[in-house]
Structure 1
Amino acid sequence: MLNYLNPYFYIIFIRNFFYDKNFFKSYKLSVPVISIGNLSVGGTGKTSIVRYLCENLADNFHIGILSRGYKRKSKGTLIVSYMGKIQENWERVGDEPFLLAKIFEKKGLQISIVVDENRVRGGEKAIKELGVNLIILDDGFQHRRLKRDLDIVLIKKEDLENKILPFGKLREPLTSLKRADAIVLTYQDYQPFDYSFNDKPIFKLYRKNWRVLNHRLEEINPGDKEFIAFCGLGDNRQFFITLKRLNLKIKKMISFPDHYDYSNFTLSPDESYITTLKDGIKLEFKENLFFLDFSIEVKGLKEFILKRLELSV
């Protein structure tokens, strides 16, 4: 009943109706597009699954990640990285695209990344100038102006009981999952749950192989080291709970808003700090700064994607 009293619900409904009926035009690019998106505001693991897909599909394609570059200090089309080589700083392209560029450069993966508020224009540039032959559209479920060959939507357990903005954190109702080609149930290691929708393919995302990295992004044994933990994520609680589950020694926890820029945050040389890679790339990589990293497992997703792409190319 609450949805029908919510003006935002009608804005979403009308916009989707106009796209569904082709009153609003969508544009198709000349290479396959995989959209990774979600229903809610805040973290559901989109960046992690974009990283996972790039690491697992890089042998098959020259992948171009396409993002708007949330909260970046620039406009227009910018090349974040070309064939794994970083071209810009994080402030001009946004923290998440730069984080991915940093990881791929370290791993030697030849991934290209473009940010543009106009995703159609950014996609065309990635194809014509960078030579990509597969685009991963980051945070793309609500961006309907660009057609996609696969719509993969991530949901977390809280989404099932949440409400639409501004009364809750959902950007769209659960019924919007009818547009999805596949659904990924995230954070199964944290809050396991089951869900199905209209016989859509369902996959489960698990985080595993937790590790602490030093300022050179090398895995270390934390031993008896005691950390000050900090982060600015969509859900900071998960980070802090994970640190406790891993039995890391934490003397203090500091929580910041999502996408915090850390311009007024100074590391004391007498302390050791631990944060996420997304937060850490905004700071100078000093010897007392450490990062919590992990791998993810989504059984069957790579095979599903490759099979579907064979049908679309």
Structure 2
Amino acid sequence: MPTDNAIKLNHLLSPFAFLYGLGVRLRNQLFSWGLLPSEQYPIPVICVGNLSAGGTGKTPHTEYLVQLLSNQYKVAVLSRGYKRKTSGYILARPESTSAEIGDEPYQIKTKFPNILVAVDSNRRRGIQNLLALPEVGRPNVIILDDAFQHRYISPSLSIVLTDYNRLYYYDKLLPVGRLREPITSIRRADVVIVTKCNEGLKPIEFRIIEEDMKLMAHQWLFFTGIHYADIKPVFPSEAMPKTKDSIQKEDEILLLAGIASPVHFIKEAEKYSDKVTALTFADHHSFRKKDIKRIKAAFDKMTSAGKFILVTEKDAARLQNNPHLPEEWKKVLYCLPITIDFCTNKQDVFNEMIKKHIITVQRNSILR
């Protein structure tokens, strides 16, 4: 139940949410009327986004699409590059850092070095630059990361994610809730994915969500859960290999989480050790000198011989080139990668739907 203070705060913020909603609805209507232009492209452009402000799992779903398609197609991922220290259009190079392109694009480029990764807050300009590349290096599929609200682009396929623990139709508009758009905007989605589903959900629970969403006949609905892969060192040349099975219950873990929803990450670490200390930060947090001091103080208090620091992949991207990172941490700094699993045995259905979409767009482009 919400507290009295929370109810009072929501009441005070409600006028701002109402005005915000008016502005968003007007903007969307201008696109619907054609008064604001929305550009289409001659290749498949797959948008992965959400209605809420962060925390739905866009990066692992984007990586899933990359892995699914990159063996058959020349794939490009175009992102805003949130909180990067640069501006304009940048095509990632092998030597690019998270400060240049943002933590999530850096993570994707590191894991998939053979694909194109670009950043630009102006997505139209970003796509134009990608399509202007020499033919041998030009993408034939573009994945847009977090671009559902970028209406100046009309993607060939829109995928909207919603967290099982905070389904969009129970949420409210900013600043009362976390919605960036009214729930009616879900009509623009071609695919809806309920993410972070708990293990052991019963078939009736999936059916209830499906009924509550009231999606249209042409819209696809899928459910995914988080799968944690094995631990890996952030600095492989410095640290010893470590697996989840090798962690002893008495080993102390200092867990760092600069992500929107750290609850699952913390619970996962607590499966390995009885001694987990979690330090949480804002999403996309840049670790400053004072943060490193705070982390060091917490780590120095730990007395276990098997103590180590565990971070998310996104935090690892920001720490790898951090000038304040103590040299000795390179031997004890590990990250926990995540992937997604499809629920209700629908992975093959999703894969075929994506591949069929790409073939259809390519065929239609040839016929034009």
Under a length normalisation based on structure 2, what TM-score does the superposition of the two structures give? Answer: 0.77
Measured against aligned partners, the alpha-carbon deviations of 1:240-296 in whole angstroms (never above 9, x if no partner) come to 12222x333443110111110112233648651001010011113712001111321
Amino acid at match of 1:98: Y
Q: Deviations over 1:74-115 (max 9, x none)?
A: 11110124xxxx24111111111111111223xxxx211000
**How far off its partner does 1:198 sit?**
2.1
Q: Secondary structure at the match of 2:84?
A: coil
Distance across 1 between alignment mates of 2:242 and 2:221: 33
Measured after TM superposition, the shift of residue 127 of structure 1 is 2.0
* Match for residue 201 of structure 1 among 192, 199, 220: 220
Q: What does 1:139-150 correspond to in 2, within 5 Å? A: 139-150=146-157
The amino acid across from 1:254 in the alignment is L
Q: Deviations over 1:119-168 (max 9, x none)?
A: 11111211221411110000011111112100010011313311001111
Letter paired with 1:205: T
| Distance in 2 of aligned mates of 1:155 and 1:191 | 19
For 1:52-131, list aligned pairs within 5 A. 52-81=64-93, 86-105=94-113, 110-129=114-133, 130-131=137-138
Give me the whole-angstrom Cα distance separating, in 1, the residues matched to 2:283 and 2:23: 25
Q: Which residue of 2 aligns with 1:283?
A: 319
State how far apart, in whole Å, the 2-side matches of 1:312 and 1:23 are: 26
**Cα distance change on mapping 1:95 and 1:190 into 2, 3 Å:** farther
**Pairing 1:48–2:60 present:** yes
Following TM superposition, by how much is the alpha carbon of 1:3 offset from its aligned partner in structure 2, in angstroms? 8.6
> Quick one: structure 1 residues 79 and 190, their matched pair in 2 at CA, closer, same or farther if it must change by over 3 Å?
farther
SS of equivalent residue, structure 1 residue 61: coil
1:259 counterpart letter in structure 2: H
Question: Partner residue of 2:273?
Answer: 248
Q: Residue by residue, what CA displacement relative to the aligned partner does 1:196-239 show, whole Å, maximum 9, x if unpaired?
A: 32232111112225321123466624421321011111112232
The answer to whether the 8 A contact 2:60-2:338 is kept is no
Q: What SS class does the counterpart of residue 273 from structure 1 fall into?
A: strand
Distance (whole Å) between structure 2 residues aligned to residue 5 and residue 168 of structure 1:
8
Which structure 1 segments of 5+ residues have no match? Answer: none
Distance 1:5 1:141, change over 3 A: closer
The answer as to whether partners of 1:208 and 1:295 remain within 8 angstroms in 2 is: yes
2:176 match: secondary structure? coil
Matching residue within 229, 239, 243 for 1:220? 243
Q: Which runs of 5+ in 2 are unaligned?
A: 1-10, 301-306, 321-328, 363-368
Q: Based on CA coordinates, which of the two structures has the bigger radius of gyration?
A: 2
| Cα distance between partner residues in 2 of 1:135 and 1:87 | 22
RMSD: 2.3
Give the 3 Å change call, closer, same or farther, for CA 250–282 of structure 1 in structure 2: farther
Specify the code of the residue in structure 2 equivalent to 1:220: T
String of CA shifts for 1:34-92, please: whole Å, max 9, x gaps: 000001112100001000110111112110000111111111110124xxxx2411111
Please tell me whether residue 137 in structure 1 is matched to residue 144 in structure 2.
yes
Equivalents in 2 of 1:165, 1:54: separation in Å? 31
The question of whether the paired residues in 2 share the 8 Å contact of 1:79 and 1:87 is answered with no
Displacement of 1:116 after TM fit? Answer: 0.6
Which amino acid letter does the alignment assign opposite residue 276 of structure 1? T
Distance 1:72 1:142 in 2: 20
Which residue number in structure 2 is paired with residue 293 of structure 1? Answer: 337
| Residue of structure 2 equivalent to 1:312 | 361
Identity score, percent: 29
The number of aligned residues is: 304
After TM superposition, the structure 1 stretch with the greater mean CA deviation from structure 2, 45-54 or 20-29, is 20-29
More strand by share: 1
2:17 and 2:174 in contact (8 A); partners too: no
After alignment, is 222-231 or 111-120 more displaced? 222-231
Would the aligned equivalents of 1:26 and 1:145 in 2 still touch at CA under 8 Å?
yes
In the other structure, the counterpart of 2:303 is none
Say which SS state the counterpart of residue 76 (structure 1) adopts. coil
Q: Is the 8 A contact 1:214 1:220 kept in 2?
A: no
